[in-house]
Structure 1
Amino acid sequence: MKRILIIPIVLIFSFCDSPSGELSKISSSVITYQKALIAHGITGSNIARVYKDGDVLVHSIINSNNENDMAINENTIFPIWSMTKPITIVAMMILYERNLYNFDDPVSDYIPSLGKIKCKNEDSVYNCENKLRIIHLLTHRSGFRYYSSGPGNITHADTVFNSLSEYIDSLAQYQPLEFEPGTDYMYGINQAILGGLIEVISGQSFYDFLSKNIFKPLNMNNTKFYLTEQERENFQILFKKSVDGKERIFSNDNDQLTYRMGSKMQFGGEGLVSTFNDYSNFCQMLLSGGLFNGQKIISQKSIELMIEPHTINILEDGYYGGVDFGFSLFNLQEPILDGTNSSKGIYGWSGYHNTHFWIDPKKKLYGLFMTRTVPFSFEIQKQFRAVVYYNI
């Protein structure tokens, strides 16, 4: 496997855009931003699109041309990590529209082991007083968080368990909640549990449900939980940096998930791989009120339920950045504090290896950016949005 120290970053670029040959202001600004990310060692090759009112305003691929990086295109495969979450939420809304569950249903009605959950406080672990309800998983208000070790750790679970039901039963037995369900917000493994819930409610494997109801109608043919040997050749290499940027490598050795064929460990919060074209179709569907090529995936009402804030005014380090949180989607409610000139009511999400998207219902616009680098930074999405909204 490739593991090579990269100092310095090679500053050679390629791009494709404007058929007229003269770049618009927004195109020029986005491309300049993409080049700056590479020039300053923030990302390797990257791809961006801005779509508005039926037109692609920007579609730009910037390849670093570094000998250790990969040249990417619209069909390069990326691990999308937490951009899996909005897909899982759409799947839940499909089942909701079929009247197969209610938001306030106890999860234990479907997964009995989650009726015996433990909570913890500063002094002890005790039997939770509140029931864990589906709405708590949808909104990250369950008390489950992300775990660096133990049964809740996704990387560990990917190789230890044989099914989502085994994983969830282990969580119920060994992983106490950080607080009483419904009483606070903590980002965590909730959508991984929802994947198991979808299996129970639908009677299908999680991937089979997604494939039939979302991926096939949206022509998302390269979005899945596994990679074939051939597909691994088209799997974008990871640009891994130390926090201070002094160490930078391109590596195939840090996938963290196996993406093995036949695995039933299909994580609804983290596990999908996808391509730029595939996820663009997903964004297009959300922007179009749940429609794609004339076919309804979900209703506009369901989208409104997804983005309605349930957790508001969260302070991080004493600061509120203007975004509230719905069903695993941010919703910008105070644009002046966001500082990007973005519209009120935009919503979206990002993935651990720096894939980012947002939907702007007001301006009928979406933005999508993909690269593969760590550490994660939400600043990439904010900077991308600023470049768009200050030039549109």
Structure 2
Amino acid sequence: MKKFSLFLFLLFIGFSACQNQTEEGQVEFVVDEEAKARLDSTLSSYVESGNVAGISALIFEKDKEVYFNAYGYANQEKNIPMDRNTIVQIYSMTKPITGTSLMTLYEEGAFQLDDPLEKYAPEFSDMKVYQGVDEEGNLILEDANRPVTIRDITRHTAGFPNRDNIPGLSELMKEKDARSYENTLTQMAAKIGSTPLWFQPGAQWEYGQSVDVQAFLVERISGVPYQTYVREHVLDPLGMDETRYVVPESDLDRFSAAYQRTGEGQLTQMPDSSAHAFNLKKWPLTPGGFGLTSTLDDYMTFARMLVKQGSINGTQILKPETVKLMATNHLADSVTERSWLPSKGNVGFGIDFAVRTDPPASQEEMNGVVGEFFWDGAASTLFWVDPVNELTAVLFVQLFPYDGIGLHKNFRDAVYGKFEPNSQ
């Protein structure tokens, strides 16, 4: 862990030393002409095969735009092409923005990562942990062996349940309906806090409601509504005017439709009334874990702020050491149960990012560079930050179910070239 953290720190402070140069002194780029041709071929093939309606990608490298293209349709029924200014639902790519908001408070000394959550939110005091059900179907509970910490909610080790197949506990979750759009963040937190944990805090990695709790915590500590706080401390300073919960009527013609893939080359356009339900009106809930919409350029601004160590265009959102902290693996080796996280490659988890700790061991694994940090969204969107090459990539589609077509793997291979084990 210490060796990896030192390695990552050196990456962050030594970007210029990482630039490879040709004999003529020209900086070499990962995204060269061959990579651009691979990217065009890869993206267009998904549209031509009928497995994606519309797709777009934007890549910056060494502070320069090196790739943009868009194929297919944002809305097939209305014959609206996918474009650079298309608005999409980013789902869980909302999470890193929430984590950034939380860490602005950390920089102010408002909390420490290992503080108990209950110090700021009594809703999470005296948590109980699920041990199964008895013969009558009643929950068997035990006391948590330690409080849930803020670090737990930033790395998904809090123990909050998030599955529909846990006897007794899943039914209770459904009854409480913490993520109902009609709940405020305070009401949501009270419902999560009164639900038993699925496992002891820190024992395993389980994706879930932790980042929604982060949004609640921002609101609780700052005394400012979360939607206002994230706007004032992250989105507005970065000029991310089109990253919003609610898409106004004037912009609906740019709002991509969502598509359900039902088989090879078979897509069904989902009704906007259901697919866009959260983003067509203002709801009481302002979640931290999902809900934002964005454009390629808006989200790229966020990614570039991170690769530039917290500042961009003269605006500082975070300190370099805070970005480093977020992009460092916080999962101990003892956390061996990690759900589907290993499907992302040889990764750990930092503060709202997966963090690559080792190169891929085979061509079948997700491609990438040690030290990169990234996340994706339910509609198959993806972004990553590669500090080694000063590269940031954003991929937009609106496809359900989540990437069942190898899109992310093939997109990464198009950027870096297929992984060669002997090259490591």
The TM-score range, normalised by the shorter chain, is 0.7 to 0.9
Q: d(CA) in 2 for partners of 1:301 and 1:336?
A: 27
Q: d(CA) in 2 for partners of 1:224 and 1:240?
A: 24
Q: Which of 230, 236, 240 is the aligned partner of 2:250? A: 230
Residue 163, structure 1, aligned to residue 173, structure 2: no
Q: Match for residue 285 of structure 1?
A: 305
- Residue 72 of structure 2 aligns to which amino acid in structure 1? N
Q: Which of 122, 147, 154 is the aligned partner of 1:131? A: 147
CA contact (8 A) 2:181 2:285 kept: no
TM-score normalised to the size of structure 1?
0.86
Q: d(CA) in 2 for partners of 1:122 and 1:151?
A: 13
- Residue 53 of structure 1 aligns to which amino acid in structure 2? K
Residue 50, structure 1, aligned to residue 76, structure 2: no
Change (3 A) 1:316 1:200: closer
Aligned partner of residue 258 in structure 1, secondary structure: helix
Residue 384, structure 1, aligned to residue 399, structure 2: no
- 1:311-390 map, 5 Å: 311=331, 321-337=345-361, 339=363, 342-377=368-403, 379-390=406-417
CA deviation after TM superposition for structure 1 residue 262, in Å: 3.6
Deviations 1:127-165 (A, max 9, x none): 323211111000100011435576756995554634100
Q: d(CA) in 1 for partners of 2:314 and 2:176?
A: 39
CA contact (8 A) 1:45 1:70 kept: no
Change (3 A) 1:160 1:28: closer
- 1:85-96 map, 5 Å: 85-96=95-106
CA deviation after TM superposition for structure 1 residue 40, in Å: 2.4
Q: d(CA) in 1 for partners of 2:174 and 2:374?
A: 25
Q: Match for residue 222 of structure 2?
A: 202
Aligned partner of residue 186 in structure 1, secondary structure: coil
Residue 177, structure 1, aligned to residue 177, structure 2: no
Q: d(CA) in 2 for partners of 1:357 and 1:208?
A: 25
Aligned partner of residue 224 in structure 2, secondary structure: coil
Q: d(CA) in 2 for partners of 1:92 and 1:159?
A: 23
Aligned partner of residue 242 in structure 2, secondary structure: coil
CA contact (8 A) 2:242 2:295 kept: yes
Q: d(CA) in 1 for partners of 2:277 and 2:73?
A: 26
Q: d(CA) in 2 for partners of 1:94 and 1:57?
A: 30
Aligned partner of residue 309 in structure 2, secondary structure: coil
Change (3 A) 1:202 1:154: farther
Change (3 A) 1:341 1:133: closer
Q: Which of 258, 269, 272 is the aligned partner of 1:250? A: 269
Deviations 1:64-105 (A, max 9, x none): 498426412222111100000111111111110000011111
Aligned partner of residue 303 in structure 1, secondary structure: helix
CA contact (8 A) 1:107 1:134 kept: yes
Change (3 A) 1:215 1:319: closer
CA deviation after TM superposition for structure 1 residue 24, in Å: 2.3
Q: Match for residue 3 of structure 1?
A: none
CA deviation after TM superposition for structure 1 residue 233, in Å: 3.1
Residue 72, structure 1, aligned to residue 99, structure 2: no
- Residue 363 of structure 1 aligns to which amino acid in structure 2? N
Q: d(CA) in 1 for partners of 2:86 and 2:301?
A: 15
- 1:95-134 map, 5 Å: 95-123=105-133, 124-134=140-150
Deviations 1:254-291 (A, max 9, x none): 42752254423011011111111110100110111101
Q: Match for residue 260 of structure 2?
A: 240
Q: Match for residue 11 of structure 1?
A: none
CA contact (8 A) 1:81 1:272 kept: yes
Q: Match for residue 212 of structure 1?
A: 232
**What CA RMSD, in Å, does the superposition of the two structures yield over aligned residues?**
2.7
Change (3 A) 1:229 1:186: same
CA contact (8 A) 2:373 2:385 kept: yes
Q: Which runs of 5+ in 1 are unaligned?
A: 1-22
Deviations 1:278-309 (A, max 9, x none): 10100110111101101111011111111211
Deviations 1:320-375 (A, max 9, x none): 73111112211112213264553211110000001101111011111110010111
CA contact (8 A) 2:261 2:400 kept: yes
Q: d(CA) in 2 for partners of 1:358 and 1:181?
A: 28
Q: d(CA) in 2 for partners of 1:88 and 1:368?
A: 18
Q: Which of 108, 115, 140 is the aligned partner of 2:156? A: 140
Q: Which runs of 5+ in 2 are unaligned?
A: 1-31, 134-139, 165-169, 420-424
Segment drifting more, 106-115 vs 61-70: 61-70
Q: Match for residue 327 of structure 2?
A: 307
Residue 295, structure 1, aligned to residue 315, structure 2: yes
Residue 39, structure 1, aligned to residue 55, structure 2: no
Deviations 1:144-190 (A, max 9, x none): 143557675699555463410001101222x2211011121111110
